[in-house]
Amino acid sequence: MAAIGLSVKEVTAILQQLSVEDQICIAAENDKNSITISGDTDAIEKVEKYMKEEKNDVFWRKLATAKAFHSHHMDNIKDEFIGKIAEACIKHKQAKSLFVSTTEGREMDASELDKEYWWRNLRNPVQFNECIKQILLRGIRVLVEISPRPVLSHYMNSIAKQAEIEDISIIQALPPRKETERLKYLYARCIGQLYTIGYPVSLSNLQDQDTGMFLRYPLYPWQETDLWAEDEYRIPIKTMQFIGIPTHVNSKKLVWKNEIDLHRFGYLNDHVMKSSGVILPGACYVELALEAAIKKTKPEPAIVKNLKFSNILPLHDHLVRTVECTKKAQNEDDWFKFKIVHVTEQGNVVLSSAFLGSFESKDSETALTLSDASKFS
């Protein structure tokens, strides 16, 4: 069997020209300019050679089938086939919907579907072109292809264009090759598309209950504005991020405690070391020092000097680290000693230390101002 991008009249002329009209039959008229032929292998190869040499600009494709359906090759099983159909005692119910047969190319009644009809269905040419035309001429504009290998959508589109009919919807019921994906596709695409174009889908046939949960949609019009969800700890705010809450406050000593984890501070996942995994960045220690520095009567400007990094703080999924910051007054005028520790059951581990002050305090070459924090990012 083979498919040719020509009309029935043109294909018939070629078969007569090659003297193979008794060896090859018209198996199907897919659309006005697409025909399937079926017959003897040597005759098919003869037509193939002619098409490649004389009409190489015309579509031609041999079909991957070992049987020459809809041709004289079926004649030797006619009696057996009709006998099996009779034994099956097929009973037809009256159709509830329009039934147009691809065997006859016309509307048919269930009473006409006898054993001879089913033989013609196997032996005679498929009248697909005429069948779809008859359906479209009745005003039907929604077509669903139910097939394990959907290949007819292209032909249905072509038939509609050839008949100058627009605005048709062609839906495939089971396109995925994997059987496990077909039911999901049937619900999400086939039934979903039918519903969205206004077809009265019977949802009670798809679920155990007659009705689902009613959802009330907003009544206000949609506002086409781009919005996105942002981690609250990424948004610049005037309140402190890392310093936490005060646990001890007096004129000489201030202590803050905070819990740091990868859920609250999700962007810390980007700070990874090959040997240690995710660790708290040095910029966070600088930020903690600056936050503590501005916790004064005069909140800004502030200054940090002699900042030291003593240990790293690894961060892991599902693990919360408790960090404590202590700001203690020194004898030196207006300077405070600052220390960051990791609080553990075994004791506190010093992470960083520094001296804090303001621009009114004694300056130092190693001092950092609040505006310098970006250098550590």
- Backbone angles phi and psi of 367, in degrees to 5: -75, 150
**pLDDT band for position 373 (50/70/90)?**
very low
pTM: 0.54
Domain assignment present for 370: yes
Query: Which class for 213: exposed (0-12), middle (13-18), buried (19 or more C-beta within 10 A)?
Result: exposed
Domain assignment present for 62: no
Q: What is the mean pLDDT of residues 75-88?
A: 93
- d(CA 333, CA 163) in angstroms, rounded, equals 95
Q: Is the peptide bond before 125 cis (omega within 30 degrees of 0)?
A: no
Q: What per-residue confidence (pLDDT) applies to 303?
A: 76
Domain assignment present for 292: yes
Q: Does 106 or 221 have the greater pLDDT score?
A: 106
pLDDT digits (tens, 9 = 90+) for 184-204: 788 778 888 888 888 888 877
What 3 state SS string does 167-199 have? CCEEEECCCCCCHHHHHHHHHHHHHHHHHHCCC
Q: Does 207 or 323 have the greater pLDDT score?
A: 323
The type of residue at 120 is: R
Domain assignment present for 117: no
Domain assignment present for 208: no
- d(CA 69, CA 52) in angstroms, rounded, equals 24
Domain assignment present for 113: no
86, pLDDT greater than 50: yes
pLDDT digits (tens, 9 = 90+) for 138-170: 999 999 998 877 788 899 999 999 999 988 988
**pLDDT band for position 251 (50/70/90)?**
low
Range of the domain at 361: 245-376
CATH number at residue 269: 3.10.129.10
% of the chain residues with pLDDT over 90: 36
Q: Structurally, how many domains does the chain consist of?
A: 1
Where is mean pLDDT largest: 212-216, 293-297, 343-347? 343-347
Domain assignment present for 138: no
Where is mean pLDDT largest: 172-176, 276-280, 332-336? 276-280
Domain assignment present for 273: yes
pLDDT averaged over every residue in the chain: 82
